[in-house]
Amino acid sequence: MAVNNSKPAVRRRVHKGRVGGCLTVLVILIFTVSTIISGCTKKNGGNKEKPVINDVSVSQESVTDVSQDTVKKYIICIDPGHGGEDIGSSNGDRLEKVDNLRYATEVIEEFSRRDIEGIEFEIVTTRTSNDVDMSNKERAAFGNNAGADLYLALHRNHSTDRTANGVEIWVQQQAEVIDEVLGYKLFKYINKVGIQSDRGLQKGYTNDTQNNFQIIEYTNMPCCIVELGFISNDEDNRLFDEHYKEYGKAIVDAVVELCQEGYLDKVQD
């Protein structure tokens, strides 16, 4: 390698000598040309002073417009899954519809406790009691009619295999980037609270990736289904009981971050 390197070094030196001479000529040429050009631009620059001042006044107006819009409002639909006759899944006396409302209530209360500069949340919810019967179509229509910017369906998972555990988040098969970003943010904050396992972001429908869950299919805004641990797994239930308030905060953290990064503005525009 040393032998090969020595030749280009010599060539460069010879080349530098030639270039040095050329450079001198070039510098003189560039100096002459730039003197002529600067003379021209000075004339034009004088004429351009007024438009520059106009530009400043325009930007001041736009700054005023921005300040009027600094508080951005987002409508978030919280949908505690199941309710009424539809108990969801169960484990002994433990009913999914009750667990879902339990952490959904925490999410809603956490939103009301947050005071985030420049962001205002309006929270709408499909139910505040365990006696409400609503089909998935009715729930989605509720979110759509409310003009929600984001829809969160809150559930718990179930399996006949009682060792199955962890958190799953479902998005649409043809997910917009926003749905996926929200999914990953939810995992980021829920993982911090502590879960048995992260089962990852899932698309479509269980065992059928060509179809979406109804709630995802019928809603017309970014939507995630959160399956917060398995009701059929004892350790997931223990974690749920211990941390459901923190999980609620984690979900709000994810939504706040999504809004602060402007993802929902792209939808609103």
Footprint of Zn ion on this chain (CB under 5 A)? 81, 88, 155
Instruction: Return d(Cα 253, Cα 51) in angstroms, integer.
Output: 45
**CB of 101 vs Zn ion, minimal distance in Å:** 12
Residue 142 or 263 having the CB closest to Zn ion: 142
CB-based closest residue to Zn ion: 155
When the beta carbons of 72 and 94 are compared against Zn ion, the nearer one is 94
CB of 220 to Zn ion, least distance (A): 21
Give the contacts of 222 (CB within 8 A, at least 6 positions apart).
149, 150, 151, 176, 178, 179, 182, 263, 264, 267
- Minimal distance, residue 100 CB to Zn ion, in Å: 7
**Which of 267, 211, 248, 225 has the alpha carbon at shortest distance from 74?**
267
Considering beta carbons, is residue 99 or 110 the nearer one to Zn ion?
Answer: 99
Closer by beta carbon to Zn ion, 155 or else 243: 155
CB atoms within 10 A of CB 156: 31
Q: What is the DSSP string of 11-52?
A: HHHHHHHHHHHHHHHHHHHHHHHHHHHHHHHHHHHHHHHHHH
Residue 196 Cβ vs Zn ion, minimum distance, rounded to whole Å: 18
Beta carbon of residue 65, minimum distance to Zn ion (angstroms, whole number): 45
Which of 130, 260 has the CB closer to Zn ion?
130
β 72-80/119-125 pair status: parallel
Q: Which of 125, 131, 119, 130 has its CA nearest to residue 146?
A: 125
